[in-house]
Amino acid sequence: MFLTFKLIMNLQLLIPVAFKNLPSKQEKDCIILAGDIGGTKANILLSQYSKEGLKTIKQNRYRSKDYHSFSEILQDFLEGQQHPDKICFSVAGPVIGGKVKFTNLSWHIDIEEITTHFGGNPVAILNDLESTAYGLAGLKQDELSILYQGSSKIPGNIAILAAGTGLGEAGLFFDGKNYHPFATEGGHSDFAPRSKRDIEVLTFLLGKHEHVSWERLLSGNGIYTIWQYLTQIEEKDCPLWLMKEMENNDPAPIISKAALAGTCAVCVETIEMFNRYLAIEAVNLILKLKAVGGLYLAGGIAPKLLPLLNTFVWKEVFNKSGRMKQLLNDVSVYVVLNEKAPLIGASYYACLSL
């Protein structure tokens, strides 16, 4: 039996996500360990669950590449802390049979090993986008920004598109009352060019990769790839100061910062192309999931680039998307401003579904 988060937690929900547990199963307080582990960072949270909700005991953020394994992070985080009763981790990769090999990190996680480590206590591993979908239940109104206002508010399936270190995609199936999250690996589907320029971008990428997925463009590395195309193939000028700044630093944040400040024309154009590609893949995902309930842009990039995510471009892309443009024009697009949505989702999944 599923019960909504609203009934259990006494909160006003934006989205009634379905959870499994009955209130009677949650009468006793318990300690929850949750984590959101990606190619760039690992956010870990230890909290106490009661009828009043979740109270933070400890939280920390780790740079994933500074550690050889996730076990090292757990050992550091849990030293001197209470033993958790329930555990849920959000991971950046496909979870198959309780195991995950990270897409952008040389780590493996096995649910059996973690369960044994914690003495048989309940453990769940969710794909980070599935966890983000559960996290939508805990968002507040001011943690969402409307990028594109659709013309209809008919409830239906929801789509999530998250650009960050990689590109994640997920959906929430609407059963007429509640929403049921599910993961996909749609970010690794083929990049689909729409214009002659897009074909040139594809040709450029085929010189680098055997397979060109949407993640090659809609990610941190994707921002740098678009910039490389513009400066190398279209021979757009780039200021010397920016080139020097990029020599020993991650180029994507530098490009994004210069675009936001308007101090580099090719950086501005890079983000304009990124925005257009984001809108095109959003269209693809909406149509495949029939996501008339809305599309949510999560991940680390969209909130930071929000001032440059041009709504006019999204409207133009939606209107030039073939015979389903009326359906697309009904769909609203939101930006999730809280980057800890996957961690929130993992926490509440542990509370209410384990």
pLDDT of the residue at 330: 94
Residue 40: CB atoms within 10 A of its CB come to 16
Task: Kindly report, residue by residue over 57-93, the tens digit of the pLDDT.
Answer: 999 999 988 888 888 999 999 999 988 999 999 998 8
Task: Kindly report, residue by residue over 214-253, the tens digit of the pLDDT.
Answer: 999 999 999 999 999 999 999 999 999 999 999 999 999 9
CA dihedral 37, 129, 92, 342 (to 10 degrees): -10
Contacts of 134 (CB under 8 A, 6+ apart): 17, 126, 181, 344, 345, 346, 348, 349
Q: What is the pTM of this model?
A: 0.92
Task: Kindly report, residue by residue over 261-283, the tens digit of the pLDDT.
Answer: 999 999 999 999 999 999 999 99
pLDDT reading at 284 higher than 50 = yes
Distance CA(229)–CA(234), nearest Å, equals 7
CA dihedral 255, 260, 264, 268 (to 10 degrees): 80
What's the whole-number average pLDDT of the chain?
A: 90
Q: Are strands 3-4 and 41-50 parallel, antiparallel or unpaired?
A: unpaired
pLDDT of the residue at 22: 52
| Nearest by Cα to 156 from 139, 176, 170, 135 | 176
Distance CA(325)–CA(315), nearest Å, equals 10
pLDDT of the residue at 109: 87
Pair 135, 345: CB distance under 8 Å:
yes
Distance CA(145)–CA(147), nearest Å, equals 6
Task: Kindly report, residue by residue over 104-138, the tens digit of the pLDDT.
Answer: 677 888 899 888 888 889 999 999 999 999 999 88
Distance CA(267)–CA(257), nearest Å, equals 9
Split at pLDDT 50, 70, 90, the class of 6 is very low
Question: How open is the CA angle 25-28-34, to the nearest 5 degrees?
Answer: 85
Task: Give the domains, in start order, of the chain with CATH numbers.
Answer: 3-139+340-353 (3.30.420.40), 141-336 (3.40.367.20)
Highest mean pLDDT among 35-39, 152-156, 279-283, 349-353: 279-283
pLDDT of the residue at 15: 84
pLDDT reading at 2 higher than 50 = no
Calculate mean pLDDT across residues 8-29: 65
Split at pLDDT 50, 70, 90, the class of 11 is very low
Pair 40, 103: CB distance under 8 Å:
no
Window from 89-103, 163-177, 179-193, 264-278 with minimum mean pLDDT: 89-103
SS (H, E, C) the chain: CCEEHHHHHCCCCCCCEEECCCHHHHCCCEEEEEEEECCCEEEEEEEEEECCEEEEEEEEEEEHHHCCCHHHHHHHHHCCCCCCCEEEEEECCCEECCEEECCCCCCEEEHHHHHHHCCCCCEEEEEHHHHHHHHHHHCCHHHEEEEECCCCCCCCCEEEEEECCCEEEEEEEECCCCEEEEECCHHHCECCCCCHHHHHHHHHHHCCCCCCEHHHCCCHHHHHHHHHHHHHHCCCCCCHHHHHHHCCCCHHHHHHHHHHHCCCHHHHHHHHHHHHHHHHHHHHHHHHHCCCCCEEEECCHHHHCHHHCCHHHHHHHHHCCHHHHHHHHCCCEEEECCCCHHHHHHHHHHHHHC
pLDDT of the residue at 237: 95
pLDDT of the residue at 120: 87
pLDDT of the residue at 68: 86
Calculate mean pLDDT across residues 327-353: 93
